[in-house]
Amino acid sequence: EAQVTQNPRYLITVTGKKLTVTCSQNMNHEYMSWYRQDPGLGLRQIYYSMNVEVTDKGDVPEGYKVSRKEKRNFPLILESPSPNQTSLYFCASSLSKGLAGGYEQFFGPGTRLTVL
């Protein structure tokens, strides 16, 4: 089954404790992206990756890191989480968003993160 998986689905942590949210897709998609969803703000893009070893900042990258060492995986790293990073996080993937244009994204189920 074609899907995007995220782990964990729920996480409660404390300020400053490093954490990683994993994201994996089995559709051989080049483009992967992380979003956070907050009430009244919709989805805001944190980081995206056009392909392996190619990543770039979205609109709200502060406090986050990503890596793309393999095509299927795109982990989101919070080196020192703070309460303002409490949010619902979505990973997504799609075919290449390059010159061929935009393709619809397939979203993971979401990770609800609470930072105390």
Give contact residues for another protein (rule: CB under 8 A): 31, 33, 35, 40-45, 48, 50, 56, 58-59, 88, 90, 92, 97-107, 109-110
Contact 32, 96 (CB under 8 A): no
Cβ distance to another protein smaller for residue 1 or 104: 104
Take residue 26 and report the two structure tokens written for it.
């089995």
Cβ distance to another protein smaller for residue 16 or 98: 98
Cβ distance to another protein smaller for residue 14 or 31: 31
Contact 50, 99 (CB under 8 A): no
Take residue 71 and report the two structure tokens written for it.
């095509």
Cβ distance to another protein smaller for residue 33 or 87: 33
Q: C-alpha angle 104/35/69, rounded to 5°?
A: 85
Take residue 114 and report the two structure tokens written for it.
């609470």
